[in-house]
Structure 1
Amino acid sequence: MSPRQKVLIVDDEPDIRELLEITLGRMKLDTFSARNLGEAQALLSRETFDLCLTDMRLPDGTGLELVQHIQQRHPNVPVAMITAYGSLETAINALKAGAFDFLTKPVDLTRLRELVSSALRLPAPGGTGVAIDRRLLGDSPPMRALRKHIDKLARSQAPVYISGESGSGKELVARLIHEQGPRASQPFIPVNCGAIPSELMESEFFGHRKGSFSGAIEDKPGLFQAAHGGTLFLDEVADLPLAMQVKLLRAIQEKAVRGVGEQQETVVDVRILCATHKDLDAEVAAERFRQDLYYRLNVIELRVPPLRERRDDIESLASHVLKRLAINTGQPAAKLHPQALDALKNYRFPGNVRELENVLERAHTLCENKQIEASDLRLAEGNCNPEGGVPDLTQIDNLEDYLENVERNLILQALEETRWNRTAAAQRLNLSFRSMRYRLKKLGLD
């Protein structure tokens, strides 16, 4: 019979300690209690715990000090903070310091049991490195740092804002955070916020009742309900209209949603991860994104490096892509000529890993004798200067052709980023839809 898991409870109120001890005892857990910071630190030095629940205010210090103490000396132990109702800033500070999650007083016992069960399912720190290595390729210093951050963030329930350029792998990073954490067995629901029509957003996010509006022919759960117990990944969150931002903020704060036409709210247990290629600080400054929602989503920021900052990874990434293409087509893998590899390493890749995959897929199709030459890559000359300076004029034979190539690549990138939604791509390039149609036809992309 395996030993029972142990939980440390830190609170100076006897009634709270007793409530937590009884609730956790019924969950077949052993509990140890401390009335203050000093007693908690003494117990931590003598016993090995699987979880710590601590009040924020203690007679001889704060729960935040205990979180920092455990992070430094007992990093295997997840800590959950218990705060006064409405102390959102305190809870966010605890999450930034390394707390797993937080509860508000009065303690909701259902929420307490969910939190404890989730914390006790956490894998050991660093135990998921091999799985991450297989999915997140590259051994450059930026990628090693990124994997380390993913492993740490997977052990938290804090909202994470994943920043990075289009095509850099933000959704993959979000999936890895989910898959390495305690919610791995529950749903991971990705949603592109820029792809949902504004009039359907509330229904898509929160669900609706049959007959609540024209076309609502049956009850439908929303994305929050679909992600219950798991993770909701809000990609391109900066594209949400302001009216929807208000409703999203309330759903996150209250941990409950009300579908269109519903009278009652539904409690949801969802971890929020979000991403955008836009500069959220600039969006807040321009009053296109609510500052209160920004602070709620951006508890911890994780930056995904662009491909040009990790050129040493290009060779291994290219090899992986070519092997995958060979398997998918049932043909031998193509080889990169050394000059082709140099060309890739000297290219800026504005579309990042996604663009590398597209370039290699095209070259794999066009090359002769399964050997990819530099000419097969068809890289845009305007992005072939690794320092990002002015292109060498001696390499430009025809200005019209050069500018047309740059324009074609920018339009293709915008189409790929918007999943070939022409209206959205035109908006991203600040073009009218009529101008977009004209350019597509002129460039042979129609």
Structure 2
Amino acid sequence: MTTHTALIVDDEPDIRDLLEITLTRMGIKAQTASDLTSARKLLDEQSFHLCLTDMNLPDGNGIELVQWIQQHAPATPVAVITAYGNMDTAIQSLKAGAFDFVSKPVELPRLRELVNSALRLSQPKPEQDDAADEPGLLLGNSPQIKKLRNQTRKLARSQAPVFISGESGSGKELVARMIHLQGPRREGPFIAVNCGAIPSELMESEFFGHKKGSFTGAIENKDGLFRSANGGTLFLDEVADLPLAMQVKLLRAIQEKAVRPVGDTKEVAVDIRVLSATHKNLPDLVQEGSFRQDLYYRINVIELAVPPLRDRSDDITLLADHILERIAGEYECNPASLTKAALQHLQSYDFPGNVRELENILERAFTLCDDDAIDADDLHLGNGTPSSASSLNGDTGSVGDSSISVPEGEIDLEGYLETIERQTIEKALEATRWNKTAAAKRLGISFRALRYRLKKLGME
């Protein structure tokens, strides 16, 4: 069994003793240094699994040591001990490459969490290259995507908050998941939440949880997203959509590493890494006053930009093959391939909706193509996506009524269209005695399209 080693750098003997005793009780062999010079000498002589350094040292500061370790011992995670409440210093250390930080007075449970996370970085794991560790994540061989994969590997070793910028559909959540999977929290939960999809009146309860009976409808205790992500990663997508009142509470929760459930008087400690994203321009929103500047600086310690698909058109072939293979597997159909003309058509398209739009285009084309080959005409680029009901508007004979009555008042449009589609297919199957080939012809769609819809609607 490997004995873990740690270097403690602090000019206060009492702090060095406390940290050394704590690490020794965790089974870690600790060595100590009282200044930068002796710390560098020890790091030159041997390797460590972890370094803990105070910010203020007799011959320099902790950030200088972080920068030195980044150059000379990059495999060693280093955490900085900062003065209580000094978030500016903590953020500076994270930007310099620190793994994490802990504030004085040092809380031993928090210190143990930090140490355990750092030690997980030194555990051997399979080489993760070209996104082979998780199918579908960050696929591509373009220089932009290779650079992005390299950046995610580096950021995975840190606990610094990362802000992921990029257009809608470019894969920001995939990047966040990649950071999580390659980091020390990979065994913990990955919780993704779309901040714009939560009603403002339920937001505090959704994020922080609530106690039973704290408000009408609170029939049982609820953990909330922060506590559900404990030990793992919380990904806040479309963070720009948070109302100002919630931004204040979010900032406090991130800084204090604790949440207070609605209706409770006590705070609950949480150990999470926060990643966030939006397709909006946050600096502009800060200038307008609709996004808090202090929260912006807190979540944007490191910014990671995801390139749009139009800037990496060389990746379209690889992405399309992967998407078509996945679709064929999901709907138990023969795989389809793109003709040369279809591929050229895709590579010259602008893709305002990025990878998500490519997926939608290929899924639609998959159901319409003949002979397992998708041609340029099957792509319908720029024509929009037909609704479920309208794509069944072929020669249906006596399958359904010629007119459709729309119910009054508010309706669930997607559910309503799905019901119409389901009823139309059922009538076609009944009329042809459940002969799928004949039913497809009666509906004016391909046999593949019918199989796809049966699978999608759960009608098999």
Query: TM-score w.r.t. structure 1 length?
Result: 0.84
Counterpart of 1:91? Answer: 90
Whichever residue aligns with residue 225 of structure 1, its letter is: R
- Residue 128 of structure 1 deviates from its aligned partner by 2.5
- Structure 1: segments with no counterpart, 5+ residues: 381-404, 413-433, 442-446
Deviation of residue 358 (structure 1)? Answer: 0.7
Match of 1:301 in 2: 303
**What displacement does 1:87 show?**
1.3
Task: Identify if the C-alpha distance between structure 1 residues 59 and 125 changes in structure 2 by more than 3 Å, giving closer, same or farther.
Answer: farther
Given that 1:163 and 1:170 are in contact with CA atoms closer than 8 Å, whether structure 2 keeps it comes out as yes
2:155 is matched with which residue?
153
CA distance in 2, matches of 1:411, 1:293: 40
The 5-angstrom pairing of residues 40-79 of structure 1 reads 40-79=39-78
In the alignment, is the contact (CA less than 8 A) between 1:364 and 1:372 conserved in 2?
A: yes
RMSD of the alignment, in Å?
A: 2.2
The structure with the larger Rg is 2
> Which residue does the alignment assign to 1:222?
224
Partner Cα separation in structure 2 for residue 137 and residue 187 of structure 1: 23
Q: Bigger CA drift: 82-91 or 115-124?
A: 115-124
Distance in 2 (CA, whole Å) between partners of 1:127 and 1:110 is 32
CA contact (8 A) 1:189 1:227 kept: yes
Who is 2:127 aligned against? 127
1:145 and 1:409 map into 2 onto residues whose CA distance is 33
Match in the other structure for 1:355? 357
Match of 2:439 in 1: none
Mapping for residues 13-52 of structure 1, pairs under 5 Å = 13-52=12-51
The 2-side partners of 1:3 and 1:137 are apart by: 35
Q: Are the equivalent residues in 2 in contact too, given 1:80–1:102 (CA < 8 A)? A: yes
**Stretch moving more, 146-155 or 215-224:** 215-224
Note the C-alpha offset of 1:129: 2.3
- Return the alpha-carbon distance in structure 1 between the equivalents of residues 65 and 304 of structure 2: 25
Q: 1:233 to 1:282 in 2, by over 3 A?
A: same
> Whole-Å Cα distance in 2 between the matches of residues 101 and 184 of structure 1?
16
Of 180, 183, 187, the match for 1:181: 183
Note the alpha carbon deviations across 1:276-299, whole angstroms, 9 max, x for none: 111111111111110000000000
- Code of the residue aligned with 1:129 in structure 2: it is D
Q: What letter is aligned with 2:253?
A: A
> 1-side partners of 2:138 and 2:76: how far apart?
27
Aligned to 1:103: 102
List aligned pairs for 1:45-444, cutoff 5 A.
45-123=44-122, 127-129=127-129, 131-132=132-133, 134=135, 135-380=137-382, 405=383, 408=384
The Cα shift of 1:152 comes to 0.3
Equivalents in 1 of 2:114, 2:272: separation in Å?
Answer: 12
Distance 1:162 1:410 in 2: 32
CA distance in 1, matches of 2:354, 2:192: 20
The alpha carbon displacement at 1:330 in A equals 2.0
Any idea what SS the aligned residue of 1:7 has?
Answer: strand
Contact 1:125 1:151 in 2 (8 A): no
Give the Cα–Cα distance (whole angstroms) in 2 for the partners of residues 364 and 152 of structure 1: 38
Give, in whole Å, the separation in 2 of the partners of 1:6 and 1:132.
29
Taking structure 2 as the reference length, what is the TM-score of the superposition? 0.82
Q: In structure 2, the residue corresponding to 1:310 is in which secondary structure?
A: helix
Give the whole-Å Cα distance in 1 for the aligned partners of 2:290 and 2:241.
Answer: 9
Deviations 1:154-178 (A, max 9, x none): 0000000011111111111111111
Q: 1:236 to 1:305 in 2, by over 3 A?
A: same
Query: How many Å separate the matches in 1 of 2:263 and 2:176?
Result: 32
Cα deviation digits, residues 289-343 of structure 1 (max 9, x gap): 1000000000000111110010000011111111112222222211211111010
1:409 CA displacement: 6.3
Deviations along 1:5-57, whole A, 9 cap, x unmatched? 11000001000000000000000110110110000000001111000000111
- Give the Cα separation in 2 of the matches to 1:248 and 1:186: 21
What's the secondary structure of 1:202's corresponding residue?
A: helix
Corresponding residue number in structure 2 for 1:384: none
SS of the residue 1:32 aligns to: strand
Distance in 2 of aligned mates of 1:46 and 1:143 = 37
Describe the superposition over 1:47-88 as per-residue Cα deviations: whole angstroms up to 9, x where unpaired.
110000001111111111100110001010000000111111
Aligned equivalents of 1:328, 1:127: Cα separation in 2: 29
Structure 1 vs Structure 2: percent identity of aligned residues? 64
1:129, 1:151 within 8 Å by CA — same for their partners in 2?
A: no
Task: Return closer, same or farther for 1:377/1:346 CA change in 2, 3 Å cut-off.
Answer: same
Which string of whole-angstrom CA distances, capped at 9 and with x for unpartnered residues, describes residues 171-195 of structure 1? 1111111111111111111111000
Q: Distance in 1 between matches of 2:304 and 2:348?
A: 26
CA distance in 2: counterparts of 1:339 and 1:240, whole angstroms:
44
The DSSP-based 3-state class of the residue aligned with 1:216 is: coil
Measure how far apart 1:411 and its partner are: 11
Cα gap change, 1:126 to 1:73, in 2 (>3 Å): farther
For 2:366 and 2:226, the matched residues in 1 are separated by: 41
- Residue 356 to residue 271, structure 1, CA distance change in 2 (3 Å): same
